[in-house]
A and B are shown apart, each in its own frame.
Chain A
Amino acid sequence: MFKTLWRKEIEGELYTWKGLVWLLVASFLFSFISYLLLTNKELSLLDQTEMLWLLGKVIIGVALLIVTIHASSVITTEFERETAESLFLTPLSIRDFLLGKFLASFTLWLALFVVAIPYILAVSAGSHLAIPFMGYVLLLGSLGTAGFIFFIFALSLWIRSSKNTLTIALVILFALSAPALFSSTLKAAGLLDAVTKINPIDAIFSSLDNVLVDYKVSLPENAPFLLPLMAFCLVTFALLALSVLSFKKRGILKNE
């Protein structure tokens, strides 16, 4: 049943060309960054690993932003357009409903990753980093986007308003991204050190740094960064489970 919903959502994206313009804009952004990195005389002196790290941050950053925006509306619009009631009159379970919607949002990340592959290959040309870089972008991006989707779905079932869900989700995304901009010296200080260790976005960027700069490509070597990301996914999944219980109690029509 979830496959039908997933297909419906994807077909909805493909229904008009406007639904996919974001992919074209993202490819323009990747083109601009890759071209700038590889042709600008000053920037081309950057170490190749630094270039790849920058590109990886842009790919995952854009993915998180797009998935956050999409996931914030994919459930809430069903309530706002009052289609949720008729949807739940069908044999569709809440589990299938959420799984279908999850796959729809997750597919956007996978589509963006496919578009990013030529750029990854172009920027990593001549280095031995193409395959590990691609693998880790896929792994880290998948864990990061999955965690955010779970969290946003939990918010969506509670709030049932796309405007409010999107605002909260974006504020949280930016709040988690902010420490990633701090220097490593600042991050080592007290509270920020603890926040850095559990911040999923920091974990993504630190793992990319570990793979590209220190060439620690095995999964055990990246466990200190992958574990907080997995924990983030588990916590947000637990939040979603709680939200589902609350949703079942409140019912479809209650929308305070």
Chain B
Amino acid sequence: MKTLYTSLLILGAILFLPQPSRAESSPPLELSILSSRMLGGTAGDYVTVQGQIKNTGSVAVSHITTYLSLVDTENKLPVDLEDWSAEKGLFIGSIEPQQVFPLNWKIHFVKAGKYSLIIVAAAEESNTPQVSPITRFAVAPKRNLNPGNVLPTALGTPLIIALLLSMLVVRRQKGVQD
């Protein structure tokens, strides 16, 4: 009897409780990553993250904003994309059913570390964004140490200017003596 009451209660809840509206469900968009899911390089390198967005539904989805979200996984902090990517976001006016759009982002490895990147797509008519699988970056540090290159410049340039000034003094003194 108790089981019957419980079953009736669950059935009632399914039938009469308010269902989530369309705005609260995810848009029928599928984000996929075509490039390697693990990208590596040295600070200063550029890589391209290639992805695509597909409308898997039967109606067109409009006003979609796609953007990147980058997290420093070593420090557990989100990263400001300012220097990492010139294109911060891509706006798509409308995607027809089953239509596919390519999404390419040129990423500049600014700082050494481990990072994870996802592409986020938010449709205006939905409260829930869609996210892509994670792409992981392993960025090795780049030391620009090159004393062999900078030392002659750092010492040589002031030396040449000092030499020119000395020549000027000598020339001037000669002129005074004459």
Contacts and interface: CB of A to CB of B under 8 A. Distances in A.
B150 A38 contact: yes
Nearest to A39: B147
Contacts of A125: 146, 149
Chain A interface size range = 35 or more
B134 to A, nearest CB: 24
21 contacts: A15-B172, A20-B164, A23-B161, A27-B157, A27-B161, A34-B150, A35-B150, A38-B146, A38-B149, A38-B150, A39-B147, A39-B150, A44-B143, A45-B142, A47-B110, A47-B111, A48-B142, A115-B157, A115-B161, A122-B146, A125-B149
Contacts of B164: 20
Nearest to B151: A35
Interface string A109-132: 000000100110111011100000
Given A35-B154, A45-B141, A20 B43 contact: no
Contacts of A39: 145, 147, 150
Nearest to B84: A213
Contacts of A213: 83, 108
A256 interface: no
A84 to B, nearest CB: 28
Interface in B117-166: 141-147, 149-151, 153-158, 161-162, 164-166
Interface in B5-54: 43-44
A24 B154 contact: no
Given A27-B158, A37-B144, A38-B144, A49 B44 contact: yes
